[in-house]
Structure 1
Amino acid sequence: MRIRPRSWLFPALATATTLTVALVVVPRQLAPDDDGTPAASAAAPAAQAAPAPAGKAKPDARDVVLAVHGGAGTALSRDETSPEQEKAYRDGLARALRAGKKVLDKDGTSTRAVEKAVNVLEDDPLFNAGKGAVFTADAGHELDASIMRGSDLAAGAVAGVKHVRNPITAARLVMDKTKHVLLAGQGADDFAVQQGLKPVTQDYYWTQRRWDELMKAKGHQPVKDTTKGTVGAVAVDGKKDLSAATSTGGLTNKMAGRVGDSPVIGAGTYAKNSTVAASATGQGEVFIRGAATATISNLMEFGGKDLAKASYEVLVERLPTLGGDGGVIALDGKGTFDAPHSSEGMLHGYLTRDGKLVTKIFKDESPPNS
């Protein structure tokens, strides 16, 4: 049952303990691009499943121009995933890649490409960002996002927004229209409206799946999240400029006011032309404490490591010692791409310069790098 009025929520929280988690595949409609045309093209290349990468601390692919992720966490199992569910996840990642590809094909910037790619994932209820965001402990929604441009280290972020449909667009506006990097709470919501973004009610984010997960968490039952909650994108454009973007609904049953790594530059998002564009996903507190994405860049710049070795060291060797796991998508200006993760799985995909589109959703396609 869809419960919306907030006055009804708290009695339900106090008594609900036995609801189960169900994966709901919801028909999705792509948000239009600025010119009113769909971001995905019917003539775009079909998504392909890719074999698992061989070895460790080695790039997953080369000549990549755009990559996206849909969260790290418990991997999808072939035995437990229906063909319809598999198609829904692959299609979601592929639509995001095609939205970014459309920008790059028109000589657009990498910043615009990652924003558009993340917009698609924010509008897809399968992912925990925008529509389909998880619930906080008080049965609300608080969303975070950040974006960074590698050419000049410009960045923008929002945290704890409650009425923004696409937080990554609000983050880009913070970067482009203010002298600040991070706006939070009511001020961030007000700023988004001032910049012309139409606000949404909290009901917009609601999905049955996320409500059931909250009820299960309130009943002290384990919630087997398909992903840990974040979406993101990295890209390199025709000028060799890098950009990264990350957006999330956070953690199921998180304290109201909790902010994770996604809006924190250097933790969840980082981009620098001379090193890397990186978007992270996982246990946010650990990624903040480990300065995950900035450390990857620093290992490349000051430690002389290549992209794959730097990413592997941070994600597989360093962060787990702090008590958490997760993953990252990382891309350099030459198109070298890697997606190491210490979690069981990470949903992600990438697009190469020649138009090859790859998605990875199963654990055998992207095994943990441990």
Structure 2
Amino acid sequence: MTSRRRFLQLSTLTGAVGLATSAFAKKPPVQRKPIVISTWEHGIPANAAAWQVLAEGGRAIDAVEQGVRVPEADPEVRTVGFGGYPDRDGNVTLDACIMDENMNCGAVAFLQNIKHPISVARLVMDKTPHVMLVGEGAKKFALEQGFVEENLLTDASKADWQQWLKTQEIKQINIENHDTIGMLALDNQGNLSGACTTSGAAYKMQGRVGDSPIIGSGLYVDNEVGAATATGMGELVIKTVGCHLVVELMRQGASPAEACEEAVQRIARKLGDFKAFQVGFLALNKNGEYGAHCIQPGFNYAVQDKSGTQLIDGKSLL
């Protein structure tokens, strides 16, 4: 029989280990690779492009860049890239970041008139000593790298903006104003990468930057553990450094789904009036397990692996 002293010794040892042996249930690894996951229904065609890279044995970093370029170029996706909703002054401004398995990362913010901010972010990562370029500096760099300046405000988005000017009503939940495509991939070599790109909150104040280009907030990758991306109200994600939080929870033993749920719960506990907003997290761990959680019903995410394509409704707090 274990003595009381031995029991106390074991208890102390368990406490020293910390949350790594917490209440998060441990399950046998699934070992699902390659795999790519991304936020929202427009993640389906994005995943298809990423899958072409992964299926040929390509790197996850190349897959996520090619994947999110699809919605960036699609004028029907009104929250990313070309055709994205403008700010309240009628200017389309874009944010993006990308991160590979070696903690290399690049980002751009408040970028105008360049269709593919994710590829500019990739070049910031590959060709500069910096992590983030913004505004005119980001645009100057893009033009130096051969990108073409073009008008990103489509007639449809311009008409919606002009209609909005009559009421100036801001909606924050899901389809009315969801932003971002965040994508995470695990390649055949077992390496993780992620990308995140957006035109941001519709009719935002000029100069506003959300979580999407901020490493640790809208995206984070740790190749030892997993990766996470976020969507929804960026200010709330920034305040909790949400994606870094999700990855650290996975490091402590949480599954991707458990980590996303705890990150959402933390926002809800601290915010109080969380029912007025939407935030969703999506995560992928080193074994290819994935999960998501959000505040409001309505957030979904796309998954593609060797078994095919799925669109899954994220579990929600409300």
Q: TM-score, normalised by structure 1?
A: 0.71
Aligned positions of 1:216-255 closer than 5 A? 216=164, 218-221=166-169, 223=171, 226=175, 227-255=177-205
Aligned positions of 1:199-348 closer than 5 A? 199-201=149-151, 204-209=152-157, 211-213=159-161, 215-216=163-164, 218-221=166-169, 223=171, 226=175, 227-301=177-251, 303-315=252-264, 317-320=265-268, 321-322=270-271, 323=274, 324-348=277-301
Q: TM-score, normalised by structure 2?
A: 0.82
Name 1:42's counterpart in structure 2.
none
Higher mean displacement: 256-265 or 271-280: 271-280
Alpha-carbon distance in structure 2 between the residues aligned to 1:123 and 1:158: 17
Q: 1:195 to 1:124 in 2, by over 3 A?
A: same
- 3-state DSSP of counterpart to 1:232: strand
1:319–1:325 Cα contact (<8 Å) kept: no
Unmatched 5+ stretches in structure 1: 1-56, 71-88
Alpha-carbon distance in structure 1 between the residues aligned to 2:229 and 2:64: 10
Residue 305 of structure 1 deviates from its aligned partner by 2.5
Name 1:97's counterpart in structure 2.
47
- 3-state DSSP of counterpart to 1:160: strand
Alpha-carbon distance in structure 1 between the residues aligned to 2:164 and 2:213: 27
Letter of the structure 2 residue corresponding to residue 206 of structure 1: T
Query: In structure 1, which of residues 69, 74, 86 is the aligned counterpart of residue 39 of structure 2?
Result: 69
Q: 1:214 to 1:368 in 2, by over 3 A?
A: farther
Q: 1:214 to 1:265 in 2, by over 3 A?
A: farther
Query: In structure 2, which of residues 130, 139, 157 is the aligned counterpart of residue 189 of structure 1?
Result: 139
Q: 1:135 to 1:62 in 2, by over 3 A?
A: farther
Residue 252 of structure 1 deviates from its aligned partner by 1.5
- 3-state DSSP of counterpart to 1:340: strand
Residue 199 of structure 1 deviates from its aligned partner by 2.1
- 3-state DSSP of counterpart to 2:75: coil
Residue 343 of structure 1 deviates from its aligned partner by 2.4
Letter of the structure 2 residue corresponding to residue 102 of structure 1: Q
- 3-state DSSP of counterpart to 2:224: coil
Name 1:166's counterpart in structure 2.
116
Unmatched 5+ stretches in structure 2: 1-24
- 3-state DSSP of counterpart to 2:294: coil
1:355 correspondence with 2:307: yes
Q: 1:222 to 1:198 in 2, by over 3 A?
A: closer
Letter of the structure 1 residue corresponding to residue 309 of structure 2: L
Q: 1:292 to 1:194 in 2, by over 3 A?
A: same
- 3-state DSSP of counterpart to 1:146: strand
1:218–1:253 Cα contact (<8 Å) kept: no
Alpha-carbon distance in structure 2 between the residues aligned to 1:68 and 1:96: 8
Alpha-carbon distance in structure 2 between the residues aligned to 1:145 and 1:62: 29
Alpha-carbon distance in structure 2 between the residues aligned to 1:328 and 1:225: 13
Aligned positions of 1:65-144 closer than 5 A? 65-70=35-40, 92-127=42-77, 128-144=79-95
Residue 299 of structure 1 deviates from its aligned partner by 1.9
Q: Which protein shows a greater Rg? A: 2
Higher relative contact order (CA 8 A, sep 6+): 1
- 3-state DSSP of counterpart to 2:209: coil
Aligned-residue identity in percent? 33
Residue 163 of structure 1 deviates from its aligned partner by 1.5
How many pairs does the alignment contain? 283
Letter of the structure 2 residue corresponding to residue 344 of structure 1: P
- 3-state DSSP of counterpart to 1:345: coil
- Select the structure that is richer in helix: 2
Q: 1:231 to 1:189 in 2, by over 3 A?
A: same
Q: 1:198 to 1:220 in 2, by over 3 A?
A: closer
Residue 258 of structure 1 deviates from its aligned partner by 0.6
Q: 1:62 to 1:96 in 2, by over 3 A?
A: farther
Alpha-carbon distance in structure 2 between the residues aligned to 1:266 and 1:207: 35
Residue 186 of structure 1 deviates from its aligned partner by 0.4
Residue 214 of structure 1 deviates from its aligned partner by 5.5
Letter of the structure 2 residue corresponding to residue 277 of structure 1: A
For each residue in 1:171-208, what CA deviation from the matched residue of structure 2 results, as whole angstroms up to 9, or x when unmatched? 1111111110000000001111111222222xx33241
Q: 1:103 to 1:96 in 2, by over 3 A?
A: same
RMSD of Structure 2 on Structure 1 (CA): 2.3
For each residue in 1:232-266, what CA deviation from the matched residue of structure 2 results, as whole angstroms up to 9, or x when unmatched? 21000111110111111111221111100000000
Residue 222 of structure 1 deviates from its aligned partner by 5.3
Letter of the structure 2 residue corresponding to residue 138 of structure 1: D
- 3-state DSSP of counterpart to 2:190: coil
1:276–1:333 Cα contact (<8 Å) kept: yes
